[in-house]
Amino acid sequence: MTDPRPHDGMDDMLWLADRFEEHRPRLRSVAYRLLGSLTEAEGALQEAWTRTSTSDGRTIDNVGAWLITLVGRVCVDRLRARKSRSEELGGGWLPEPVVSTGDAVDPEQESLLADSVGLALLVVLETLEPAERLAFVLHDMFAVPYEQIAPIVDRTPAAARQLATQARRRLQGTTAVPDTDLSTQRQLVSAFLAASRAGDFDGLLEVLDPRVVFRVDAGTQAGLTPTLLTGALDVAQHAIVHGPRFAPLCEPALVNGAAGLIAKSRQGIIAVVGITVVSETITEIDLILNPDKLARLTITE
């Protein structure tokens, strides 16, 4: 069934506004996966709506596909701009997290909390070229056909397919499928937190994968802490040094749908910790200290 078409200018704008709001959850989800930031995703949607509001709805055959294409173009432009200034950014980069402190997930955020948008995968997606990331995300995560992806990146459908293939090759071996059982995740996070509080080196080694990766996004505070540590020994040693002071400030939370932590002080939230669990061990720890990202953080309860 197709939507009834608008008949005059005012009807056209109202019809487009209704269609945009109807598709907003999917568009927001696409933009978040492409940009790794809720704030940037909202900005991309606002830009897409500005372009939509000046369009003629009577010329659009498939409004859903048209909107995905439009948001994709906006996001690619933003990814390219980010790449061009990446050398100027200090420290590490981590996605802007989606956080909940309760078992229930805000319906508005529910579409963002699928397994495919875990922090670990978003970090890996950041290593792709913008066109590769768009082709992979749209095709593999949203089943958008290559014929629709091609014009977004000014390529043929065959070239768009090749971009997605290149992305898969670059991602191969860089990510493992996280454990989906939330109770197991929480047990490991709790054990990690307890060992950090107690300065229990052996206890930390029991829950950390030998090749665990610890990443930090401190934003403009880069240099105050290492941006990357690898290996259980180094990560455990870091936790031993900083855990007794930092861990008591932490409490459990859902970070991008997985068990994680938030740290609070009198000033408010000072950190978000995303934790990836694979085969019942902690394989990745993502510590977000970036004050800009924390200031924009919306936490549902």
What is the phi-psi region of residue 255: left when phi exceeds 0, alpha when psi lies from -120 to 50, beta otherwise? Answer: beta
pLDDT score at 82: 82
Highest mean pLDDT among 48-52, 95-99, 176-180, 200-204: 200-204
- Looking only at the bridges linking them, the beta strands covering 299-300 and 99-100 are parallel
- Greater confidence (276 vs 6) lies with 276
Sign of the Cα pseudo-torsion (115, 117, 122, 124, in order): positive
Local structure of 272: helix, strand or coil: strand
**9-91+126-171 classified as CATH 2.40.30.60:** no
pLDDT tens by residue, 147-160: 999 999 999 999 99
Residues in the chain: 301
To the nearest whole percent, how much of the chain has pLDDT over 90? 57
Q: Which among 227, 206, 220, 199 is positioned nearest to 292, based on CA atoms?
A: 220
Whole-model pTM: value is 0.84
**Average pLDDT of span 39-50:** 93
176: pLDDT strictly greater than 70:
yes
pLDDT tens by residue, 67-98: 999 999 999 999 998 876 654 444 578 899 98
In the beta sheet, which residues pair with residue 265? Answer: 268
Q: Return contacts of 86-92, CB within 8 angstroms, 24+ apart.
A: 90/220, 90/222, 90/223, 91/216, 91/217, 91/218, 91/219, 91/220, 91/221, 91/222, 91/223, 91/227, 92/215, 92/216, 92/217, 92/218, 92/222, 92/227, 92/228
**Average pLDDT of span 178-201:** 94
Q: Cα separation of 32 and 122, whole Å?
A: 9
Count of CB atoms situated within 10 Å of the CB of 173: 7
Position of tokens 């991309």? 44
pLDDT score at 22: 92
Domain assignments of the chain as residue spans, ordered by start: 9-91+126-171, 182-300
pLDDT tens by residue, 115-146: 446 888 898 899 899 999 999 999 999 999 99
290: pLDDT strictly greater than 70:
yes
Please tell me if the domain spanning 9-91+126-171 has the same topology as the one spanning 182-300: no
Q: Which helix (H) or strand (E) holds 213?
A: strand 208-217
Q: Which CATH class is domain 182-300?
A: alpha beta
List helix spans (H) across the chain.
9-35, 38-53, 63-85, 107-110, 119-125, 130-136, 142, 146-149, 157-171, 182-198, 201-207, 232-246, 291-295
Burial of 28 (0-12, 13-18, 19+ CB in 10 A): buried
Residue type at 80 in one-letter notation:
R
What's the 3-state SS for 133-165?
A: HHHHHHHHHHCCCHHHHHHHHCCCHHHHHHHHH
Q: Which two tokens stand for residue 281?
A: 């061990």
